[in-house]
Amino acid sequence: MQLEEFKNLVIKTRCCRRFKKIDIKSEDLIKIVQIAALSSSAKNLQPLKYIIVSQDEEIKQKIFKPLKWAAALKDWQGPIEEEKPSAYIIVLCDKNISDYCMVDAGIAMQTIMLSLTSIDLSGCILASIDKNEYKKIFDLPENIEPIFAIAIGKRGEEIKIVPKKDSIEYFRDEKNAHCVPKRSLNEVLWKIL
Ligand SMILES: Cc1cc2nc3c(=O)[nH]c(=O)nc-3n(C[C@H](O)[C@H](O)[C@H](O)COP(=O)(O)O)c2cc1C
């Protein structure tokens, strides 16, 4: 793959919050978790585990309920019924293996997000989950802690990267496209030696 092609994949891989309903096969998400499990891991401990939910409508409603969407969009309450995600991957940290899961989770989740784009799906990483509620829903033992949810579906909104002006806060433009300001190379590249 050429670098330009990979750049386009990364550009396309945005957090999507308004989906179109589709049926997502568990098999596709199993393959994606298998890819995520190939990602780098501190000390190669591999403390992450995953729950895939794509078919059970009742569990999907329970996962959705405590999620907090797009804190920066004050006038938007989150996806309406028709815009809800069609599936979820819940990321778990096995505390018996390691307490240090967040960096591993970041790497694995970006791998998942890129994989989703590659099969024309979109996702949204969500930290604002209800850990205790999820522990109950999935009957998880003490050592298994839910740390993130990835909401998954068919993209139902236009999402654009825009140059950062005054603020890094994402917003919706006059055409209701979701705009994500990114800092320029000048701002992020500290030094070239
Ligand atoms: C670790 C992490 C946690 C996040 N948690 C939430 C969340 O709880 N709710 C939400 O709507 N978006 C969440 N997001 C999505 C970010 O808001 C999003 O990545 C950011 O606005 C930039 O958009 P982009 O991913 O399209 O570049 C999270 C993203 C990351 C990486």
Hey, how many other C-beta atoms are within 10 angstroms of the C-beta on 118? 13
pLDDT, tens only, 168-179? 999 999 999 999
**Nearest-CA neighbor of 79 among 2, 31, 18?**
18
What CATH number is associated with residue 193? 2.20.180.10
**pLDDT for the residue numbered 43:** 98
Instruction: Say if residues 128 and 68 touch (Cβ distance below 8 Å).
Output: yes
Residue 6 lies in a domain: no
pLDDT at residue 1 is higher than 90: no
Instruction: Say if residues 147 and 101 touch (Cβ distance below 8 Å).
Output: yes
171 and 149 in a single domain? The answer is no
Q: Whose CA is nearest to atom 21 of ligand 1?
A: 170
92 Rama class: left (phi>0) / alpha (psi -120 to 50) / beta:
beta
pLDDT, tens only, 141-180? 999 999 999 999 999 999 999 999 999 999 999 999 999 9
What are the angstrom distances between the C-alpha of 41 and each of 28, 35, 61, 107? 23, 13, 32, 8
Domain housing 29: 13-157
129 and 193 in a single domain? The answer is no
Q: Give the pocket of ligand 1 (CB within 6 Å).
A: 14-15, 17, 68-70, 124-128, 170, 180
CA–centroid distance, residue 154 to ligand 1 (Å):
17
Number of domains into which the chain is organized:
2
pTM over cut 0.85: yes
Ligand 1 mutation target, pool 15, 89, 102, most atoms within 8 A of CB? 15
105 and 167 in a single domain? The answer is no
130 and 171 in a single domain? The answer is no
167 and 119 in a single domain? The answer is no
CA–centroid distance, residue 14 to ligand 1 (Å):
9
Structure tokens, 74: 């004050």
Ligand 1 mutation target, pool 124, 128, 178, most atoms within 8 A of CB? 124
Q: Which residues pair with 172 in a beta bridge?
A: 178
52 and 138 in a single domain? The answer is yes
Structure tokens, 13: 């891989």
pLDDT, tens only, 50-91? 999 999 999 999 999 999 999 999 999 999 999 999 999 999
Q: How confident is the model at residue 103 (pLDDT cuts 50, 70, 90)?
A: very high
**pLDDT for the residue numbered 132:** 97
66 and 39 in a single domain? The answer is yes
CA–CA separation, 159 vs 178, rounded Å?
5
Query: Looking at residue 3, what DSSP letter applies?
Result: H
CA–CA separation, 113 vs 125, rounded Å?
8
Residue 167 lies in a domain: yes
CA–centroid distance, residue 103 to ligand 1 (Å):
15
CA–centroid distance, residue 16 to ligand 1 (Å):
9
Residues 6+ positions from 22 with CB-CB distance below 8 Å: 86, 153, 154
31 and 92 in a single domain? The answer is yes
Instruction: Say if residues 155 and 122 touch (Cβ distance below 8 Å).
Output: yes
